[in-house]
A and B are shown apart, each in its own frame.
Chain A
Amino acid sequence: MGIAVETSDLMHATDVQKLKEKIREVRRSLVDMTSMIGVHLGSSLSCLEIIATLYFLKMRHCPHRPQWKDRDRFILSKGHAAPALYAVLAEAGYFPKEELKSFKLIDSRLQGHPDLKTPGVDAPSGSLGQGLSIGIGMAVAAKMRGSRSRVYVLMGDGECDEGQVWEALMTAAHLRLDNLVLIIDRNGWQLDDRTEEVKRKIPLRSRLESFGWETYSINGHDVEKIIEVLDCADRAEQPVAIIAHTKKGKGISFIEDSNKGHKLKLSEEEYLAAIKELEMKAGCA
């Protein structure tokens, strides 16, 4: 018994190490994309570890059979972070990494906001506040079919301004959807200003709890914590909400925790500085 646990821990440690390496790769792809065209880099970087952990470690999915019926689903409700999703999907093998260069170009499969044209994209988004409702529909369908398929929805904190989000929070709790997990990327910024300046979200956690959700708060850049809370969500008997405290622009100091990187195209100089910083951090890791 003891040995089995140790072996599993060892495997886990290797997996986590591999995950971290992949996250570095994906972050690099994102920065490369931002040197070519305007990207919502800040909000892509704040949720990168979450999306990567889901696709590289947690979810049951199959890049060679994107339409596999019993796969777990991921909905990027904050659609402006599409570059993060695309970079992860490419790394996972849904399409060639080379294709990331076509992001937002005419006739590309990689649209400015998620679209079903892209292999691996489970739901469209771009108009905020809709992902959780779509997730409810998917989770209900899975239950009707007796499938083990689970549904993960990633939403922004600014997105919580949308009334539909609160309709959906009520619905999912009412239906006791234990196969639905909501992750809120709590980076504290929305387009115009800090989230609490535009419209107060605090006390977010108790609001979610009062709507009937099992709620957790974690550091959204700590992959061990992300894995732990997602595993915990597997055993819940009601929908689970995870408030992931993050930093907009995480990893690139000149845009970190600010709105400077809400949408930008990096200059040559900025690009080189960003790459240098990423490489330095990779060296330390």
Chain B
Amino acid sequence: MRIAFGEALLELGVEVEDLVVLTADVAKPTQAAVFRDRYPQRFLNIGISEQDMVDIAAGLALNEKVPVVVAFAPFLMRGWEQIRSTISRCNLNVKLVGTHAGLSASDEGASHQPLEDVALMRVLPNMTVVVPGDREEVKEATEAIVRKDGPVYMRIGRDEEERFLDEEFRLGRAVVLKDGCDVAVFSNGFLTREVLEAAKEAQVDAMVVHVPTVKPLDAETVVSAAKKAGAVLCVEEHSIIGGLGSAVAELLSSEYPVYTRRMGVADTFGESGTYRELLDKHHLSAPHIKKAIEETAGRRGMR
């Protein structure tokens, strides 16, 4: 995903003259280096100082530039108060990109595994929050957020080559990848791939809805899927507190109360391991999701 992100930045560099990329000594692992090599005059390596970087981006935006800030997601959150008090408060045109989403920094352990970034960004007024699924979607989402006016947070994860999404990314749109009537499964990021596999294997007819824009949430699609299926399962590589599952539950609690189960990392930190081992341990791999789909379908019509 990071490679796709780097490629997208390069393409945008041609068309968006005011695009400036900033990073905090992680140009290489985030792929921001690709942009640096092509456009050295529009690239700033601020060093290991995320708070400074976030406000420098704010200053650039206040002076007509379109800054894209790239850092490991957990450390970008170190600038959360700067994002809140300056960027979000004044609706500044800054794009914040957090890499190594969820458990994807795997062997690096808990310090490097952001499981709260979506919650922290979602709570901020004016902020758009995007969690794309595969390589192609990362590219499309990168272009979409740069062209949108206002602050955006995008989190990106692993460098999976695999493509599992056909629909083009549109900001604010959730897409039904597979229709079904026993349970509606909402997911985003890489885990949508696991959900698709799980839904195929499941003994019930699951609808799969990919929700790459967590905020603003595509309320129409979410509510109509919940109405049709009568039971909801949310799956994300994030704490079960405050992410996509919470966003869906908040919406449905008033618009169409229905049984809703949230899967994610259950209010705990990650640890070192392989990505697969971590997904398994936190019940986020396809077999665990399959079981949850079947159990949730069994709660159909219950509240």
Contacts and interface: CB of A to CB of B under 8 A. Distances in A.
B300 to A, nearest CB: 48
Interface string A166-182: 01101100100000000
Given A123-B59, A133-B54, A167-B47, 6 more contacts: A73-B63, A116-B90, A133-B58, A133-B82, A141-B65, A144-B65
Nearest to A135: B59
A102 interface: no
Give the interface SS of chain A, mostly helix, strand, loop or mixed: helix
A150 to B, nearest CB: 12
A141 B63 contact: yes
Contacts of B129: none
Residue of A134, A139, A142 contacting most chain B CB atoms (<10 Å): A134
Contacts of A142: 63
Interface of A: 69, 73, 115-116, 122-124, 126-127, 130, 133-142, 144-145, 149, 163-164, 167-168, 170-171, 174
Given A144-B65, A171-B47, A171-B49, A137 B41 contact: no
A115 B58 CA distance: 14
Give the interface SS of chain B, mostly helix, strand, loop or mixed: helix
A149 B63 CA distance: 10
Contact of A170 (B47, B61, B64, B82): B47
A127 B61 contact: no
A144 B20 contact: yes
Contacts of B274: none
B60 A69 contact: no
Interface of B: 20, 41-42, 44, 46-47, 49, 51-65, 67, 81-82, 85-86, 89-90
A142 B18 CA distance: 12
Contacts of A133: 51-56, 58-59, 82
A130 B52 CA distance: 8
B90 A171 contact: no
Contact of A134 (B41, B44, B58, B64): B58
A167 B81 contact: no
Given A130-B55, A130-B82, A164-B55, A137 B49 contact: no
Nearest 7 Cβ contacts at the A-B interface: A137-B59, A133-B55, A141-B63, A167-B49, A167-B52, A134-B59, A127-B85
